[in-house]
Every structure is written in C-alpha cells, then in structure tokens.
Amino acid sequence: MFAVLERFNQQGIKINHIEISADGDVKNQYLDNQGNVLLTTDEVKDQNDPQLYDDLPFNPDGFEIILQKANTQK
C-alpha cells in the first residue's frame, strides 16, 4: 500500500510525481513541461541506482520529510 501525490505549477503542468510506500520510503520524480522525468530522488538504497544522499543521516529534501511525517500520523 502506498500514496501517490502530484504537484502542479500555476499553469496546471505537473512538476512532481511522489510515491510514499507503507514503509515510509519516498520516491520523488521531478518533471519537465512535457512530463519527462528530469530527476528522481529515492530513499530506498539500490546498488544499481545509488543516490547521492544514501549515506547521509538525513534526507535533504524538506518536502519529502514533511510528507513522510504526515504519512506516519494516520
């Protein structure tokens, strides 16, 4: 089970696709104006697709932290 959040800019163009798993892991895709993925940040450690912050003690994206806290306060 997971949640999907979509963020749009003022012109109504989707700029983010965010997935939160039941375990609290967050995957955030940043999109361009055509819906193409520009960047993906993912809290799940993956040897095939390592993230820059896998070894940091925190997630640098404050928006993802807020979403995770909201998800755990059910």
**pLDDT digit string, tens, across residues 12-35:** 999 888 888 877 778 888 898 888
Please choose, from the candidates 6, 3, 50, 47, the residue with its C-alpha nearest in 3D space to the C-alpha of residue 29: 6
CA–CA separation, 14 and 12 (whole Å)? 6
Q: Looking at residue 71, what is its pLDDT?
A: 61
User: What is the C-alpha radius of gyration for the chain, rounded to an integer number of angstroms?
Assistant: 13
Enumerate the domain spans of the chain.
2-72
Enter the pTM of the model.
0.53
Q: Looking at residue 49, what is its pLDDT?
A: 62
Better pLDDT: 7 or 62 = 7
Share of the chain above pLDDT 90, in %: 7
